[in-house]
Amino acid sequence: MADNEKQHWADLIAEQIIKERGKKTKYVCAAGITPSGTVHIGNFREIITVDLVSRALKERGKNARFIYSWDDYDRFRKVPKNMPKQELLQKYLGMPIVDTPDVFGCHKSYAEHLEKELEDSLPATGIKPEFIYQHKMYRACKYAEEIKYILNKKNEIKKVLDKYRKEPLPEDWFPIGVYCEKCKTDNTNVVEFDGNYNIKYECKCGYSNEIDFRKKGIVKLSWRADWPMRQHREKVDFEPAGKEHYQQPGGSRITANETYSVLYKDMKHPLDLKYDFVIVKGIGGKMSSSLGNVITLKSCLEIYEPEIVRFLFAGTRPNTEFAISFDLDVIKVYEDFDRLEKRYYNNEAYGKDKRIYELSCIKLTKKQPKRIGLRHLTMLVQIHKDIKKISKNKDVLKRAELARKWIEKYAPDEFKFKLHDKTPQEVIKRLDKKQKESLKLLKEKLEKKKFSEQELFNEFYEICKKVEINNAEFFKGAYLALIGKEKGPRLASFILAIGKEKAAKLLNEIR
Ligand SMILES: [Zn+2]
Ligand SMILES: [Zn+2]
């Protein structure tokens, strides 16, 4: 146990896979989802979990394949509330998601829109799965053999599922859905199966037909049979699943594992892992899963470096719930990451800690990347309209963009300011005699001498002593003169960031 605690969870799982699945030329790790609504950051947890485990396998010299299945041949069950054109979408309920139109008007279908939203964000995080589009597989009749096999085993599957049901499934139940050739929905019933490749179906719309599912890709296995089928076909060794799939009684992962064991004897069902939810913090009324307003990977990448997104997930065990912050804690997350990075490059990070850093990196660099803390950057981006004035380093500039986004979209008001071009008269009127006197003194000092941050900080207190002004009143006066607010960023570092000439010029207005 003590040994285990030293190891990172992804390494432990990788080792368990190798041990339990035996020697293989390739280990298959899988994830997947039905693109029925926005693919959010909670769904991303499954993807990064598989990525981290695949990476741990590769680092052990193993060949790992990471497949991601888009279940886009599932029926469109429910219109999420965050989608435009609700009425239009209602008309497609019961049809394959892939045949539902893109209500944003930019992709071939609703499914493709949601798929690309994620697929386009993933490369930034260094994650490159092999995507499998289930609608292509089904429509091309690729699963015909599997469907026939499962239809002939339907009673064994029914036995597994009935264990968890109050009412057993009807005797004429079939573990498939058929999309009607006339109305395109799956409001159909299978009335006959010949034990081979032929079924007869009837639709609510009145249409009925007999088809050979080797030739017509309109048959889809029901979810609880589809999952084990795909795992078997792709020879999956490891696939995590969200907590909701483990609900008792008879969560879909529980029945998938049991069904797999009943159907297939040549392999054991894949190793699984239950992962918990991700909460989002600090976006006010913006997020509600019932409203479908959820945070995507893309919105996280607007304010977090990809390495830090990885750091958040790699640093938390999958079975633990955690929050991604958009409020002030963003600064703390950056600080935690920077501290770990520093320890890593100083050879002061060990064991699990060291692994968390390695797994957070998309590519480990020999040299420590140049960093400016996010807190300081939020100040710099508000001083300089042109971000390039901040630094020439591309890592710093990348972070500066994120700092600017955070200020624009999420930062609390006390973080925001606008540096005066010229101190306005109405602000000067608000300053009392002692404030004016102390600021004049500060101006003179700034014109005369170079300061380090600490020296300047000490100087403030010298000035206060000399003028006999309360420290708080002095700072208030300085902030009013510079940004017209009573509070602001730490004054010494702020003045140095503005440039002491520019600060002196602003203070010069005060008479
Ligand atoms: Zn689109
Ligand atoms: Zn029909």
Q: What is the pLDDT of residue 64?
A: 98
Q: What is the pLDDT of residue 82?
A: 87
Higher pLDDT, 510 or 478: 478
pLDDT classification of 288: cutoffs 50, 70, 90: low
Q: What is the pLDDT of residue 320?
A: 95
Would you say residue 508 has pLDDT above 70? yes
In this prediction, residues 265-282 reach a mean pLDDT of 94
From the CA of 101, which ligand is nearest? 1
Burial group, residue 90, by CB count within 10 angstroms (0-12, 13-18, 19+): exposed
Would you say residue 200 has pLDDT above 70? yes
- Residue 84 Cα to ligand 1 middle (Å): 12
From the CA of 104, which ligand is nearest? 1
- Residue 131 Cα to ligand 1 middle (Å): 18
Give 21-43 pLDDT, tens digit per residue: 999 999 999 999 999 999 999 99
In this prediction, residues 268-285 reach a mean pLDDT of 89
CA distance 173 to 74: 18
The whole-model pTM stands at 0.93
Give 298-347 pLDDT, tens digit per residue: 999 999 999 999 999 999 999 999 999 999 999 999 999 999 999 999 99
Give 206-240 pLDDT, tens digit per residue: 999 999 999 999 999 999 999 999 999 999 999 99
341: closest CA among 329, 357, 356, 353?
357
Q: What is the pLDDT of residue 2?
A: 45
CA distance 148 to 144: 6
- Residue 218 Cα to ligand 2 middle (Å): 12
- Residue 140 Cα to ligand 1 middle (Å): 24
From the CA of 116, which ligand is nearest? 1
In this prediction, residues 468-472 reach a mean pLDDT of 97
Residue 436 vs residues 135, 158, 418, 429, 471: alpha-carbon distances, Å: 73, 85, 21, 10, 13
Give 50-92 pLDDT, tens digit per residue: 999 999 999 999 999 999 999 999 999 999 988 999 999 999 9
Give 145-155 pLDDT, tens digit per residue: 999 999 999 99
- Residue 77 Cα to ligand 1 middle (Å): 20
Would you say residue 1 has pLDDT above 50? no
Ordered domains of the chain (ranges, CATH):
2-168+222-275 (3.40.50.620), 283-369 (no CATH), 370-413 (no CATH), 417-511 (1.10.10.350)
Would you say residue 110 has pLDDT above 80? yes
Contact 399, 424 (CB under 8 A): no
73: closest CA among 95, 92, 105, 45?
95
From the CA of 109, which ligand is nearest? 1
- Residue 181 Cα to ligand 2 middle (Å): 7
Give 379-413 pLDDT, tens digit per residue: 999 999 899 999 999 999 999 999 999 999 999 99
Q: What is the pLDDT of residue 414?
A: 87
CA distance 180 to 9: 46
Would you say residue 201 has pLDDT above 50? yes
Would you say residue 292 has pLDDT above 70? no
Q: What is the pLDDT of residue 4?
A: 55
Q: What is the pLDDT of residue 220?
A: 98
Would you say residue 261 has pLDDT above 90? yes
- Residue 224 Cα to ligand 1 middle (Å): 30
Calculate the average pLDDT of the chain. 95
From the CA of 112, which ligand is nearest? 1
Would you say residue 428 has pLDDT above 80? yes
- Residue 95 Cα to ligand 2 middle (Å): 10
From the CA of 105, which ligand is nearest? 1
From the CA of 180, which ligand is nearest? 2
Would you say residue 256 has pLDDT above 60? yes
User: Which residues lie below 8 Å from residue 350, measured CB to CB, with a gap of 6+?
Assistant: none
- Residue 185 Cα to ligand 2 middle (Å): 6
Q: What is the pLDDT of residue 282?
A: 84
- Residue 90 Cα to ligand 2 middle (Å): 16
